[in-house]
């Protein structure tokens, strides 16, 4: 229980991972406003989805636009933009925050600069931002940025910004927020807010004006998106949809609008009408987009593929294959908004969908599966083939690579673990954090495997004849890094249980010891046969120090998790000074443990304690030492690294 609370205290601050329960299913009768497509097959399709899966997920409101055969066939709003006032979602006037779809507009601006000759796909970033480039362990190119393959670590602390904070230039933010690199560029896809932030800094520098102004002029205006902006001050906030989550006892809680320091990667506010224009332009190509044929072809081109037959990354957009049909798409999650834009040039069709709350993180995935069926796309799963190596070679523990390896929220990576084991002729993927049901994978090619439900294709990455990770696409492309058993969630929880047992039982040790000695007919717990007063007092001091050290560890754990929960929004902006100070306490705890450790020879050779108490004392010291090492490894001790 202690471990679970500690993990939740760290994880609730992570954007896009809604560990706080979202709105539960409730009786919904959506009020709707149709701008285009009333009575169409597309409307019937979406009405069915909203009254089915969206209703079950408790979605308060949604925007949807559907393009089919090159025409906008539906633009509609569902439900409430504001639960308190009952304001309806209007596709023409209601603003939703589209989250990481904002990154695609940075991509369009970068494509324009490539077309103008100001930038090139394989240009070294150090040539453009030399001060930042000097920090990179490995050289990074524009290609690496737009395909999320630069090898950057995740960065959560500093992602947000205080409302009244004056932000420096994007290049300065990129310099200050550099998270380090955890792999060589090009090794694997690891979705990176920071990577697109660097691309935005390049666009701002080459454009000669603030990024929000540049994209407003060079992208939004040219697309006819008059009601879209990166800046909340530019929009009519009376028409801004609120987002909602479920709090204690099912009470609906409005999520406050949080400002992003990394504003280019997730801050765009737009109406459904504007996003329908964007979706249509992406499908129509250069005739509607502010770019030429070559740039459009580059935008669509597959620039990174983890393995043959698998989806990877184009220019900022990532790939999805449905029945052999290629879609390019991008999702977005921030606060409780969840959005998706997906299009296929083969089908001349696509969809934009955005909600302002809900309890099903896979709702967009279910929508895309249904949308493929609506378009008449079908396909068969690949047939079983022989694996390239014995199935046992693939077994082990893996972790989703998108977490802070070097930062103060490293522990947030613990639940993102997948265990691979052999199940007959197949592999079985299980999730210790119970984030999903087990998934069975059957071999379909060299180091490639497929599952049937959900339909998921993965490829094991082999280096120097050893399996080191897993690539795949589910919601977005992902990479799972292979980890040692001592880094696993199971090992961490085992150690937490060991610490908890030692510290908690020690709190009751004085009472338990007195009861035990009374049962043995002894009145004084410190009774010593030879009457050595000095030794008796030394035993008392050791016993009191043991109990005091246990109390100190328990109070640190409780204080840290309470503080993290209370300051979760501030942690996204920056680690509060009070938390930094609190995380220095383990050094004092370690000092207490060392003092106890120095006394171990005396405890065993001179004290008249029972063998059980001597063993307990020694195990307690061991727990204290390991406690410090584990918390140091998981960055829960100052100085806050990263």
SS3 string, 213-235, reads HHHHHHHHHHHCCCCEECCHHHC
Question: Quick one: pLDDT at residue 409?
Answer: 86
**454 upstream amide cis, omega within 30 of 0:** yes
Residue 586, Cβ neighbours under 10 Å: how many? Answer: 22
Element spanning 491, H or E:
helix 489-507
Radius of gyration of the chain measured on its C-alpha atoms: 28
CA pair distance 329, 319, nearest whole angstrom = 6
* Closest residue by Cα to residue 76 from 39, 37, 41: 37
Contact present, 101 and 341 (Cβ < 8 Å):
yes
Question: SS3 sequence, 296-364?
Answer: HHHHHCCCECCCCCCCCECCCCEEEEECCEEEEEEEEEECCEEEEEEEECCCCEEEEEEECCCCCCCHH
Q: Identify the residue with better confidence: 158 or 551.
A: 551
Residue 467, Cβ neighbours under 10 Å: how many? Answer: 18
Is 78 a residue whose pLDDT tops 60? yes
Kindly report the average pLDDT of the chain as a whole number.
90
Note the pLDDT tens digit of each residue in 359-404. Answer: 888 899 999 999 999 999 988 889 999 888 999 999 999 999 999 9
* Closest residue by Cα to residue 340 from 362, 373, 323, 325: 362
Question: Quick one: pLDDT at residue 22?
Answer: 38
Question: SS3 sequence, 29-58?
Answer: CCCEEEEECCCCHHHHHHHHHHHHHHHHCC
Calculated CA dihedral for residues 33, 341, 213, 190, nearest 10 degrees: 150
Is 8 a residue whose pLDDT tops 60? no
Note the pLDDT tens digit of each residue in 345-357. Answer: 999 999 999 999 9
Structure tokens, 630:
């584990």
99-270+287-324 and 391-483: identical CATH topology: no
Domain 99-270+287-324 is found in CATH 3.40.710.10: yes
Question: Quick one: pLDDT at residue 520?
Answer: 65
Contact present, 154 and 15 (Cβ < 8 Å):
no
Is 4 a residue whose pLDDT tops 80? no
Question: Quick one: pLDDT at residue 157?
Answer: 87
Element spanning 269, H or E:
strand 269-271
Residue spans of the domains in the chain: they are: 99-270+287-324, 391-483, 489-633
Q: Identify the residue with better confidence: 630 or 12.
A: 630
Hey, is 403 helix, strand or coil? coil
Is 337 a residue whose pLDDT tops 90? yes
Question: Quick one: pLDDT at residue 512?
Answer: 75
Is 15 a residue whose pLDDT tops 60? no
For residue 238, what are the contacts with CB-CB under 8 A and spacing of at least 6? none
Is 23 a residue whose pLDDT tops 90? no
Note the pLDDT tens digit of each residue in 46-76. Answer: 999 999 999 999 999 999 999 999 999 999 9
* Ranges 190-194, 288-292, 432-436: which has the least confidence: 432-436
Strand partners, 327: 320
Question: Quick one: pLDDT at residue 13?
Answer: 30
When pLDDT is cut at 50, 70 and 90, the band that residue 16 belongs to is very low
Is 573 a residue whose pLDDT tops 90? no
* Closest residue by Cα to residue 267 from 642, 15, 59, 89: 15
CA pair distance 380, 441, nearest whole angstrom = 16
When pLDDT is cut at 50, 70 and 90, the band that residue 34 belongs to is very high
CA pair distance 615, 638, nearest whole angstrom = 31
Phi-psi region of 70 (alpha: psi -120 to 50; beta: other; left: phi over 0): left
Question: What percentage of the chain exceeds 70 in pLDDT?
Answer: 93
* Ranges 478-487, 503-512, 515-524: which has the least confidence: 515-524
Is 226 a residue whose pLDDT tops 80? yes
The beta-carbon contacts of 124-128 under 8 Å, at least 24 apart in sequence, are: 125/198, 125/202, 128/202, 128/205, 128/206
Question: Quick one: pLDDT at residue 564?
Answer: 86
Average pLDDT over residues 408-428: 94
Note the pLDDT tens digit of each residue in 123-156. Answer: 999 999 999 999 999 999 999 999 999 999 998 8
CATH code for the structural domain at 391-483: 2.40.128.50
Average pLDDT over residues 194-219: 97
Strand partners, 170: none
Question: Quick one: pLDDT at residue 617?
Answer: 96
Question: Quick one: pLDDT at residue 144?
Answer: 98
* Closest residue by Cα to residue 68 from 49, 39, 41, 106: 41
Phi-psi region of 261 (alpha: psi -120 to 50; beta: other; left: phi over 0): alpha
Is 7 a residue whose pLDDT tops 50? no
Average pLDDT over residues 219-247: 94
């Amino acid at each position: 229980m202690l471990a679970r609370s500690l993990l939740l205290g760290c994880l609730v601050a992570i954007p896009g991972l809604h560990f706080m329960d979202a709105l539960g299913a409730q009786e919904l009768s959506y009020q709707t406003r149709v701008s285009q497509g009333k009575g169409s097959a597309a409307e019937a399709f979406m009405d069915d989805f909203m009254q089915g899966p969206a209703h079950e997920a408790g979605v308060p409101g949604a925007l949807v636009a559907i393009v089919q055969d090159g025409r906008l066939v539906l633009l509609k709003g569902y439900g409430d933009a504001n639960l308190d006032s009952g304001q309806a979602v209007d596709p023409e006037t209601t603003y939703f925050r589209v989250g990481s779809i904002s990154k695609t507009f940075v991509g369009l601006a970068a494509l324009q600069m490539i077309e103008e000759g100001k930038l090139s796909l394989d240009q070294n970033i150090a040539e453009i931002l030399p001060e930042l480039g000097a920090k990179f362990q490995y050289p990074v190119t524009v290609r690496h940025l737009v395909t999320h393959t630069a090898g950057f670590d995740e960065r959560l602390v500093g992602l947000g910004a205080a409302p009244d904070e004056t932000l420096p230039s994007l290049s300065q933010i990129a310099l200050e927020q550099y998270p380090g690199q955890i792999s060589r560029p090009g090794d694997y896809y690891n979705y990176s807010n920071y990577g697109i932030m660097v691309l935005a800094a390049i666009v701002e520098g080459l454009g000669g004006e603030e990024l929000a102004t540049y994209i407003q002029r060079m992208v939004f205006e040219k697309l006819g998106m008059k009601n879209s902006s990166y800046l909340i001050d530019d929009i009519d906030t009376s028409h801004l949809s609120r987002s909602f989550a479920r709090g204690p006892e099912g009470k609906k809680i409005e999520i406050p609008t949080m400002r992003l320091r990394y504003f280019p990667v997730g801050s765009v506010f737009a109406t459904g009408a504007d996003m329908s224009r964007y979706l249509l332009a992406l499908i129509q190509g250069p005739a509607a987009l502010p770019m030429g044929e070559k740039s459009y072809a580059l935008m669509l081109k597959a620039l990174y593929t983890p393995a043959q037959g698998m989806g990877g990354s184009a220019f900022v957009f990532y790939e999805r294959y449905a029945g052999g049909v290629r879609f390019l798409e991008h999702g977005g999650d921030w606060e409780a908004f969840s959005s998706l834009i997906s299009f296929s040039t083969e089908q001349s069709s696509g969809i934009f969908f955005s909600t302002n709350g809900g309890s099903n993180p896979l709702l967009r995935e279910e929508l895309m599966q249904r949308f493929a069926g609506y378009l008449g796309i079908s396909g068969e799963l690949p047939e079983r083939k022989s694996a390239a190596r014995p199935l046992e070679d693939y077994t082990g523990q893996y972790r989703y690579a998108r977490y802070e390896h070097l930062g103060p929220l490293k522990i947030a990576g613990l639940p993102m673990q997948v265990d691979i084991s052999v199940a007959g002729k197949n592999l079985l993927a299980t999730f210790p954090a119970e984030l999903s049901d087990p998934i069975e994978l059957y071999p379909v090619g060299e180091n490639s495997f497929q599952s049937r439900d959900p339909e998921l294709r993965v490829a094991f990455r082999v280096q120097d004849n050893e399996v080191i990770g897993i690539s795949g696409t589910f919601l977005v492309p992902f990479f799972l890094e292979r980890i040692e058993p001592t880094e696993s969630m199971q090992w961490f929880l085992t150690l937490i249980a060991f610490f908890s047992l030692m510290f908690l039982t020690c709190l009751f040790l004085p009472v338990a010891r007195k009861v035990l000695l009374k049962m043995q007919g002894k009145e004084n717990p410190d009774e010593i046969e030879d009457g050595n007063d000095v030794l008796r007092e030394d035993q008392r001091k050791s016993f009191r120090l043991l109990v005091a050290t246990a109390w100190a560890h328990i109070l640190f754990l409780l204080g840290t998790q309470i503080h993290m929960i209370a300051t979760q929004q501030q942690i996204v902006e920056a680690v509060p000074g009070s938390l930094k100070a609190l995380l220095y306490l383990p050094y004092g705890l370690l000092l207490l443990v060392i003092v106890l450790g120095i006394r171990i020879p005396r405890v065993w050779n001179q004290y008249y304690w029972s063998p059980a108490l001597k063993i307990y004392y020694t195990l307690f010291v061991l727990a204290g030492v390991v406690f410090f090492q584990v918390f140091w490894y998981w960055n829960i001790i100052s100085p806050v690294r990263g």
